[in-house]
Structure 1
Amino acid sequence: MADDLSAVFAQPFAEQLAYFSQKLALPSEHWDDLIAAGHDRGFIVAGAMKENLVADLKAAIQTAIDEGKTIQWFRDEFENIVQKRGWTGWLGEDSTGGTAWRTRIIYTTNLRTSYSAGRYAQMTDPEVLASRPYWRYVHRSREHPRLSHKAWHNTVLPAQDPWFNTHFTPNGFGCKCLIEAINEREMKRMGKAQPDTAPDDGTYQHVVKRTGEVVTLPVGIQYGWDYAPGQSVAEDIRRMAR
């Protein structure tokens, strides 16, 4: 995979595997038929309405996570699945660039969220919290960075700070940011005598085009991403990973 998380994605860990494996494959018409923490329990691909089609796509992503498969491998599998199940009319089908975009979104979104959910389960383990009680926001995008995410780089807060309920990464499609658990010594090496104050960037209103619903979100957080992946299932994931 051609980004700076390729090495990470190639090294799956127990909590990441457990998080994705417990998801149910669900037919859906729209990408936001599941929203926020709903993704902790369900796997969807917008427009994939047949159960066997969604199951095959989930299985392909599961293999990509389990075995550290590349995006090109997933693209080949995607093409095979689409042909096998006779799926037509999906967004991106009409061009090579569209297909590349669609497969990248499916692949990277699921690998990044499963990675973050697995790390959330690890970092909220009571023993880990006792030894590494602070979380650091790490901005990683090199090209076309989101300025709000860049401004949050190196923000250190107590792990229990409510800010992470909406700002735990990723914070939007394509977001490469991470959250890192650190101890007091590491915080002080950053030149911080104590944790920071949680950023307050205000809110904005997003209008859901197909429904007209108005949703209030923190500035810098894309619609549908104002949650902490894995938070709602963290205990289950730790138990499954043992």
Structure 2
Amino acid sequence: MIPDKALEYIKKKKLKPAFSYKDVWNEEHITSFTAAKVMQLDILKDMKDAVEKAIENGETLEQFKKNLLPTLYAKGWTGRQLIEDPITKEIKEVYIDTPHRLKTIYETNLRSAYMKGRFDRAYSSETHPYLMYRVGPSKVHRKEHLEWDGLILDKNDPFWLSHNPPNGWGCKCYTVAISKARKEKYEKEGIPTAYGDGQTKKIKAKTKRPEIEYTNYINKRNGNISKVPKGIDPAFNFNQGNYNRDLVLFNDFIKKSKEKFPDRYEKIAETILRNEIKKEQFESFIKGAFDYDKEKNTGIQPHNITAIGFIDSFIKDYLKRKNIDIKESITIGLEARLLNSIKAERHAKKNEALKPEDGEHIINCILYGDAYFQTDNKYIIYLYEIEKNKYLQISIDTLNTSASRGTSLKTPLTRNIQFINENQKKNKYNANNKKWIKIR
């Protein structure tokens, strides 16, 4: 099953020529196939075809090179090549067909695809709720990766957002989905392992999420600033399988916080929404949504969803009194399509559409804005003043919940998001308009 999922993942990727690996950054790799310094589409396609064939046929690195090199040679891609950097305009000397470059292309693409397949399979399993981190067959392991070896955490744990393998160039680490019974067995008896000497040993199972130390990394090619965990190479600090599951992780966090801290979970959730990690993820989502290009297959796909907040207990209780019981579905999701769709284009013509820099107002609107109940279609409207004569309006459908793609979670979704002015606010939300009832 995993090779099938890995092959499907690679096949769906679109070609994206790039001079540097830093030109295709983090989540862009989900939809883009690239190889540094390969600027010609036909050569890049030959490489992608070779990777697909390697996955489909289970080819070794030597078989991969044997199949690809004659094609490259036939097109003159051998030895020294002079390629212009489109950003700096410098001419760089490149050797496309070196063993090291071909090994990097082969291993990075195959390992990423296989780990994506592993994660998807694990996430769809109801009998294996845990993921276990294991180091691979490398002769020398990174210190941090050895420390994570034997780590067993819930598959919804935020750790996997940034630590799902591969976690760097040449990293051979992997995860294994395990059952609750297997987890308990490993906790009691230890985990069998061998570090290349052929001798089976046992290591202690670790079940507490490690403290994560972050450093800021500036990608000078595109200006992006990323928080990179210690022990992970820049450009590997995201989970290709887990990217669209921010909504699920946030919802799971709220659920667990509510169980353990019923009086404080809303403040805890607010803190999560305001922290730097969520802020970086959210900014990346907003930018990707606005950058979406169907033809080039760039940016965030329209169906991708992120968490923008939650329906607080006061509003939830109000809805229940109106015979609308949303139960535990309180996480509010925003689909990328609302920022780049035809509806968004209509708002743009009226100067009512959001711009990428307006993303910071969305979470504030849900957390701190006024809330109105729309009586005829059961919508909740959040209204937040941005500046004089400018309000952000977000409409949430409390009844027609939709499942986040690739998950079973159903959550209230944003149905409309736009700016309105003071006159529109007065006309729509005045006390005489019985369609709208202010509830917060």
TM-score (norm 1): 0.82
Q: Is the 8 A contact 1:57 1:81 kept in 2?
A: no
Deviation larger for 156-165 or 142-151 = 142-151
Matched, 1:219 2:209: no
SS of residue in 1 equivalent to 2:22: coil
Per-residue CA distance 1:183-234 (angstroms, 9 max, x = gap):
1110111126997221113112334355676532111111000111233479
For residues 92 and 68 of structure 1, what CA distance do their matches in structure 2 show? 29
Q: 2:105 aligns to what?
A: 106
For residues 215 and 236 of structure 1, what CA distance do their matches in structure 2 show? 26
Matched, 1:199 2:210: yes
Q: Is the 8 A contact 2:7 2:56 kept in 1?
A: yes
Shift of 1:40: 1.2
SS of residue in 2 equivalent to 1:136: strand
Per-residue CA distance 1:155-209 (angstroms, 9 max, x = gap):
1111100110000011001111111110111011112699722111311233435
Q: 1:170 aligns to what?
A: 166
For residues 205 and 233 of structure 1, what CA distance do their matches in structure 2 show? 23
Task: Report which of the two has the higher share of helix.
Answer: 1
Q: 1:20 aligns to what?
A: 10
For residues 27 and 86 of structure 1, what CA distance do their matches in structure 2 show? 18
Matched, 1:188 2:184: yes
Q: Is the 8 A contact 2:130 2:152 kept in 1?
A: yes
> Aligned runs of 1:46-125 on 2, under 5 Å?
46-87=36-77, 88-89=81-82, 93=95, 99-125=98-124
Rate the CA distance shift 1:141–1:212 in 2: closer, same or farther, 3 A: farther
SS of residue in 2 equivalent to 1:225: coil
TM-score (norm 2): 0.46
Task: Give unpaired runs (5+ residues) of structure 1.
Answer: 1-10
Q: 1:6 aligns to what?
A: none
SS of residue in 1 equivalent to 2:95: coil
Rate the CA distance shift 1:233–1:111 in 2: closer, same or farther, 3 A: farther
Q: Is the 8 A contact 1:92 1:101 kept in 2?
A: no
Q: Is the 8 A contact 2:2 2:117 kept in 1?
A: no
For residues 64 and 237 of structure 1, what CA distance do their matches in structure 2 show? 26
Deviation larger for 229-238 or 17-26 = 229-238
Task: Give unpaired runs (5+ residues) of structure 2.
Answer: 84-92, 190-204, 246-403, 408-440
Deviation larger for 30-39 or 226-235 = 226-235
Q: Is the 8 A contact 2:161 2:243 kept in 1?
A: no
Per-residue CA distance 1:60-108 (angstroms, 9 max, x = gap):
11111111112112223332232233333477628xxx81111110001
Rate the CA distance shift 1:104–1:92 in 2: closer, same or farther, 3 A: farther
SS of residue in 2 equivalent to 1:188: helix
Q: Is the 8 A contact 1:15 1:118 kept in 2?
A: yes
For residues 150 and 233 of structure 1, what CA distance do their matches in structure 2 show? 28
The structure with higher relative contact order (CA 8 Å, sep 6+) is 1
Per-residue CA distance 1:8-51 (angstroms, 9 max, x = gap):
xxx96221111111111221111122112211111001111111
Q: 2:241 aligns to what?
A: 230
Rate the CA distance shift 1:107–1:151 in 2: closer, same or farther, 3 A: same
For residues 237 and 72 of structure 1, what CA distance do their matches in structure 2 show? 35
> Aligned runs of 1:146-165 on 2, under 5 Å?
146-165=142-161
Count of aligned pairs between the two proteins: 222
Provide the identity percentage: 26
Task: Report which of the two has the higher share of strand.
Answer: 2
Q: Is the 8 A contact 2:2 2:121 kept in 1?
A: no
Q: 2:21 aligns to what?
A: 31
Rate the CA distance shift 1:237–1:134 in 2: closer, same or farther, 3 A: closer
For residues 44 and 173 of structure 1, what CA distance do their matches in structure 2 show? 15
Q: Is the 8 A contact 2:134 2:173 kept in 1?
A: yes
Of residues 20, 27, 32, the one that matches 1:42 is 32
Q: Is the 8 A contact 2:150 2:206 kept in 1?
A: no
- The higher radius of gyration belongs to 2
SS of residue in 1 equivalent to 2:227: strand
Shift of 1:124: 1.2
For residues 2 and 179 of structure 2, what CA distance do their matches in structure 1 show? 24
